[in-house]
Chains A and B, each alone.
Chain A
Amino acid sequence: MTSWGLTRRLLLAGAFILPLAAMPSLAQQGEPVLRVVAPWEYTSNDPADIGYILTRLGVAETLVQVEPEGQLVGGIAESWSVSEDKLSWRFKLRAGLSFHDGSPVTAQAVAASLKQSFIGESLSAVPLDSVSLDGADVVIRTKAPFSVLPAFLCDYASIVLAPSAYGADGKVIKIVATGPYKLAAIDGKTTLELDRFEGYARTRPAIARLRYTAVVNGDTRANIAIAGDADLVYTLSPTATPRINAAGQMKVESLTIPRIRALFFDSGLPQFSDLRVRRAIAMAVDRDGIAKAILRHPDSSASQLLPPIMTGWHRQGLPAIPHDPAAARKLLDEAGWVAAGDGIRVKDGVRLAAKLLTLVNRPELPVMASAIQAQLRGIGMDVAIEVGPGNSVPAAIKDGTMQFTLVSRTYVNVPEPIATIIPDFARERSVWGTVRWDGRDQVKALTDAYLASFDDARKDELRGQIIALLHDQMPAVPVSWTEHSVAVSGRIKNVAIDPYEMRYLVERMAWK
């Protein structure tokens, strides 16, 4: 029986040692690689789908770029000018640029690439007439004066790719672009390996290699930041910030960006057609409470569409929207909505009730929606919450079932909010914004004037009028602006956050 005891002990020891031996050896850090984590998967090669990943990582560039401070600067173009009739734009290209395959960036290549971009829908707002060559310059003609064309050319759908990037059918088959980094390898939808492009003429990036990893789930991204398994983690939930900072592996930096969380209405419904109801809702919503308790950032409370960082579009003079449920109730009384037995107001047989559609892909939204539900209940309005996937809002607007929504909406798809204000507020049925709002024609008149105006003072005046109109008529009730939070490791310096979410600016960063 002696051998039995020995065997048993051995077996027992094996149970604990073997799994450890089976673990593959931990990864060794060799040459420094900048590890970037963000939510977006590289799903296809089409610039209209994933161009933003390419511009953010510095793989691809557009003719015009925007600096984090807001001014438009040359990208592939060195400078540009507009003709006397304001219809013809001439872009002078930078000299000595080359594509990642070594071929020179010529006017022909740029024009051909731009023509492909304009086939898609992303740039359909531009009243394009033609793209042509004039010597070494690219000339874009519009059918009507379009003062914001350079801003539109920052759109990632208009990234410039080499002729070798396109297949016979004009579709992009591989990414051959001009940026400071080039794609070295694509692994599935989640990982991109990038190398410094040695032929980049404008600067020489200090960081030679980077790896982009897409992690869709926000909690998982937060966990990665807590464990310190990355150098840059983008788009973090505000609630994760204290935990990440406490863990000490990475530090969170935040910036308020022009992305608003707001309630959008179908103003054609009897519940919302009266301006007084929309104003009452605006006053019933406890912005500060939501900003403090849910978003954990008191400054994010929003009383107008765009945050102070958008200097031209944030209007200092506008009155704040007070949190005043009593005044809200009074306003509803005036408007003829009378509380029935169950506490919910009724007018002409219509209950003051509606379905609030919000989205699951931004985890704070359902929480905010239920806070708003409780707050509106306090003024006699019955709200049912529906939480849908990201595309449920366009779907609901399209099939006419949208009543009101709580969504997170960026106004800098291009660095000119007008590009998003027009589709959201100037149409009878927008894709993401308002539905059947009677002020849409007023907005359209103002935005048309804005697009046609080349006078800065006049444009500023129009900006003021547009924002004031939206603030006065409440087609949308602003709730909070968004904090863009990035976790940064201790290994790097010179990290800048771009409020336009256009670029990560890795080429300006360096190892410590």
Chain B
Amino acid sequence: MSGQALSELTKPHSEEPRSSVSQDDPERAGVTFETHSFRMLARVRAEGGYRLKAGLALPLVLLAVVAGLAMFGPLLSPHDPTMQDLLHALEGPSLAHPLGTDHVGRDVFARLAHGAGRSLGIALACVGAATGVGLGLGLIAAYAGRWSDMAIMRLADLMLAFPGILLALLISGFLGGGVLPMLIGIKLTLWPQFARMARAIAQGELKEPHVEAARLAGFPARTLLIRHVLPAVLRQTTTLATLGLGAAIMSISALGFLGLGLQPPTPEWGAMIGELLPYISEAPVQMAAPCLAIFISVLGATLLGQALSEPDSGKETAG
């Protein structure tokens, strides 16, 4: 099965990988044959991983910068992010406008700061919703087994066969942009991996002696799943969720750039880039700011996911 070949390739440091991997190995079963860029990201980064020495420090600093921008930026800037001042359009950085003004004289820093909250908020909501739905369905599949397992996993397979951004694009295109369609679209592309991973881990966990014992002792399914299985699942899905955050930020900005995301004049990074593109030579700073913001957020999420996936993060791995 191809999933196996992939888990092998993402475990480059094991001695004899091709014979040692078992299909039920919960750590690896979450990584099956998947075709979405995010899944590639997840696999390559989290397991085969880019190992920078940065460990947790760099990603946390990067994410703290963006979170700080989202929380305190709007307070620091006296400007309304949608307020136009046509007489001061496309002005370079100044004391009043630290990042200059855009093509209709709106303060770029204010837009960047308000956009940070929106981008991060929607991305978090997407990942949260995807985690919730994915974990729930994955646990049900693992515990109930038989036809519900079959149905849920086939549904996950089907969703995985949908090209990622295309689905978000279809839904946004159909529903006409805005927060909700984007949330639905991105969530739909993310949940199957959480479901798969949760199911695989839960299956392994349910076979553990202490869980087996609890079941025999007559504890109800709910208690079993929530008390014993969920914590293990959550531990393992944190990495996936962090990487999902980066993927969601990229999707949101791509939709905004294509004009299918949040509608103007809502400040959003991708849309800001799209709007300023015709003025790129006149407004390099204003253009660079949202680009950098996207880059920093995604990089932060990526590195954090990678650091979390390694218990010995910070230690140079032999290789």
A and B associate in one complex: yes
* Residue positions of A touching B, CB distance < 8 A: 218-219, 222, 237, 239-240, 242-243, 246, 286, 289-290, 292-294, 360, 363, 366-367, 370-371, 374, 385, 387
| B89 nearest CB neighbor, chain A only | A293
Residue B77 interfacial (CB < 8 Å): no
A382 to chain B, nearest CB (A): 14
B279 touches A239 (CB 8 A): yes
7 CB < 8 A contacts A-B:
A290-B86, A292-B86, A360-B259, A367-B104, A370-B84, A371-B86, A387-B264
A294 touches B278 (CB 8 A): no
For the complex, give the distance between the alpha carbons of A295 and B188 in Å: 41
The secondary structure that dominates the B interface is: loop
Residue B87 interfacial (CB < 8 Å): yes
| A289 nearest CB neighbor, chain B only | B86
B86 touches A294 (CB 8 A): yes
Residue B43 interfacial (CB < 8 Å): no
B104 touches A371 (CB 8 A): yes
| B177 nearest CB neighbor, chain A only | A387
Residue B236 interfacial (CB < 8 Å): no
A237 touches B278 (CB 8 A): yes
Kindly list chain A residues whose C-beta atoms are within 8 Å of the C-beta of B103. 239, 294, 367
For the complex, give the distance between the alpha carbons of A293 and B103 in Å: 9
* Residue positions of B touching A, CB distance < 8 A: 82-84, 86-87, 89, 103-105, 259, 263-265, 277-279, 281-282
For the complex, give the distance between the alpha carbons of A218 and B277 in Å: 11
Kindly list chain B residues whose C-beta atoms are within 8 Å of the C-beta of A387. 263-264
B87 touches A289 (CB 8 A): yes
For the complex, give the distance between the alpha carbons of A367 and B86 in Å: 10
B259 touches A293 (CB 8 A): no
B286 to chain A, nearest CB (A): 14
Given A290-B86, A294-B86, A360-B259 in contact, is the A370-B278 Cβ separation under 8 Å? no
| Contact partner, B281, options A243, A371, A374, Cβ 8 Å | A243
For the complex, give the distance between the alpha carbons of A511 and B105 in Å: 43
| Contact partner, B277, options A219, A242, A290, A371, Cβ 8 Å | A219
Kindly list chain A residues whose C-beta atoms are within 8 Å of the C-beta of B104. 293-294, 367, 370-371
Kindly list chain B residues whose C-beta atoms are within 8 Å of the C-beta of A240. 278
Kindly list chain A residues whose C-beta atoms are within 8 Å of the C-beta of B264. 366, 370, 385, 387
For the complex, give the distance between the alpha carbons of A289 and B87 in Å: 8
Kindly list chain A residues whose C-beta atoms are within 8 Å of the C-beta of B105. 293
Kindly list chain A residues whose C-beta atoms are within 8 Å of the C-beta of B278. 218-219, 222, 237, 239-240, 243, 363
For the complex, give the distance between the alpha carbons of A240 and B264 in Å: 21
For the complex, give the distance between the alpha carbons of A367 and B275 in Å: 10
Kindly list chain B residues whose C-beta atoms are within 8 Å of the C-beta of A366. 264
Kindly list chain A residues whose C-beta atoms are within 8 Å of the C-beta of B82. 370
For the complex, give the distance between the alpha carbons of A367 and B103 in Å: 9
A12 to chain B, nearest CB (A): 20
Kindly list chain B residues whose C-beta atoms are within 8 Å of the C-beta of A371. 84, 86, 104
For the complex, give the distance between the alpha carbons of A292 and B83 in Å: 18
| B281 nearest CB neighbor, chain A only | A243
A83 to chain B, nearest CB (A): 54
Q: A293-B89, A363-B278, A367-B103 are in contact. List 20 more A-B contacts (CB 8 A).
A: A222-B278, A239-B103, A243-B281, A243-B282, A286-B86, A293-B86, A293-B87, A293-B104, A293-B105, A294-B86, A294-B89, A294-B103, A294-B104, A360-B259, A366-B264, A370-B82, A371-B86, A371-B104, A374-B84, A385-B265
- Give the top 8 A-B pairs by smallest Cβ distance, nearest first: A293-B86, A374-B84, A293-B89, A289-B86, A367-B104, A239-B278, A219-B278, A370-B265
Kindly list chain B residues whose C-beta atoms are within 8 Å of the C-beta of A374. 83-84
Kindly list chain A residues whose C-beta atoms are within 8 Å of the C-beta of B86. 286, 289-290, 292-294, 371
Kindly list chain A residues whose C-beta atoms are within 8 Å of the C-beta of B263. 387
Kindly list chain A residues whose C-beta atoms are within 8 Å of the C-beta of B279. 239
B292 to chain A, nearest CB (A): 21
Kindly list chain B residues whose C-beta atoms are within 8 Å of the C-beta of A239. 103, 278-279
For the complex, give the distance between the alpha carbons of A242 and B89 in Å: 15
| A246 nearest CB neighbor, chain B only | B281
For the complex, give the distance between the alpha carbons of A422 and B176 in Å: 33
For the complex, give the distance between the alpha carbons of A367 and B105 in Å: 11
Kindly list chain B residues whose C-beta atoms are within 8 Å of the C-beta of A293. 86-87, 89, 104-105
For the complex, give the distance between the alpha carbons of A385 and B84 in Å: 14
Kindly list chain A residues whose C-beta atoms are within 8 Å of the C-beta of B281. 243, 246
For the complex, give the distance between the alpha carbons of A325 and B259 in Å: 34
For the complex, give the distance between the alpha carbons of A364 and B265 in Å: 13
Query: B86, B264, B277 — which one has the most chain A CB atoms within 10 A of its CB?
Result: B86
